[in-house]
């Protein structure tokens, strides 16, 4: 399998999940600051996926899978013994989808694009930061009683949550008001799979 990624963006979650599961990945770095987005070999990413954004997972048979949540679920199901997703017939599987949806719609889409485009002016970023406080509070309340998001073990939801929450540092967001969330993120950052993925992408924990 080949993962088209850019360092530190949402594709990091898939990189972490594959590393945690011991699934071998070929990595193709994409320059998302170029227009169009260019793969390291010079191709336009739209030659691989018409969406032209990361993450993109290219399977060994040539099929293409896009969208971070779909890719995370695919990776988890390739290695069920890694227990990155609960069993299909369990209620925890729906909890997993609940958290993945929350992270995608309430965290990911609040961080991006408003906090990554200074050309929009300061007001959108101010509003986004205020909205994020409510979302952080939801995580804080859950993590006060749990070490992880689903079934008290590391899952693809944690890989995704860590990836998005890790953007806080570069956006000037102090997480001091959410100590349980800070503890959770610090613990995730120490996992060997997370440290390995970050190092491969040239990032620090």
In a domain, 103, yes or no: yes
Which residue's entry shows tokens 């990595």?
A: 27
Q: Could you list the residue range(s) of the whole structural domain that residue 51 is in?
A: 2-82+194-200
Rounded to two decimals, the pTM is 0.95
For residue 126, the model assigns a pLDDT of 80
Do 13 and 67 reside in the same domain of the chain? yes
Which residue's entry shows tokens 């190092």?
A: 199
In a domain, 205, yes or no: no
Greater model confidence, 185 or 120: 185
The beta-carbon contacts of 73-78 under 8 Å, at least 24 apart in sequence, are 73/100, 73/156, 75/14, 75/17, 75/18, 75/21, 75/23, 75/156, 76/17, 76/21, 76/155, 76/156, 78/21, 78/23
Do 103 and 12 reside in the same domain of the chain? no
Do 76 and 97 reside in the same domain of the chain? no
Give the CATH number, domain containing residue 9: 3.40.30.10
For residue 92, the model assigns a pLDDT of 98
How do residues 44-82 score in pLDDT, each as one tens digit? 999 999 999 999 999 999 999 999 999 999 999 999 999
How do residues 134-145 score in pLDDT, each as one tens digit? 999 999 999 999
DSSP 7-68: TTSTHHHHHHHHHHHT---EEEEEETTSSS-EETTS-BGGGT-TT--S-EEE-TTS-EEESH
Residues 203, 185, 75, 132: is their CA dihedral positive or negative? negative
């Amino acid at each position: 399998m080949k993962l088209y990624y850019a360092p530190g963006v949402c594709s990091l979650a898939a990189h972490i999940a594959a590393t945690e599961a011991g699934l071998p990945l070929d990595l193709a770095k994409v320059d998302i600051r170029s227009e169009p987005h260019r793969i390291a070999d010079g191709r336009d990413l739209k030659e691989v996926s018409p969406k032209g954004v990361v993450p993109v997972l290219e399977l060994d048979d040539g099929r293409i899978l896009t969208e971070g949540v779909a890719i995370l679920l695919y990776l988890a199901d390739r290695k069920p013994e890694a227990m990155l997703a609960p069993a299909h017939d369990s209620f925890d599987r729906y909890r997993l989808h609940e958290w993945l949806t929350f992270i995608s719609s309430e965290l990911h889409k609040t961080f991006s694009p408003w906090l990554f485009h200074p050309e929009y002016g300061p007001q959108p970023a101010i509003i986004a930061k205020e909205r994020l406080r409510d979302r952080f509070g939801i995580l804080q309340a859950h993590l006060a009683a749990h070490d992880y998001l689903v079934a008290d073990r590391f899952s693809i939801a944690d890989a995704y949550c860590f990836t998005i929450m890790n953007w806080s540092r570069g956006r000037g967001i102090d997480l001091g008001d959410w100590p349980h969330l800070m503890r959770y993120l610090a613990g995730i950052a120490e996992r060997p799979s997370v440290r390995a993925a970050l190092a491969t992408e040239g990032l620090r924990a």
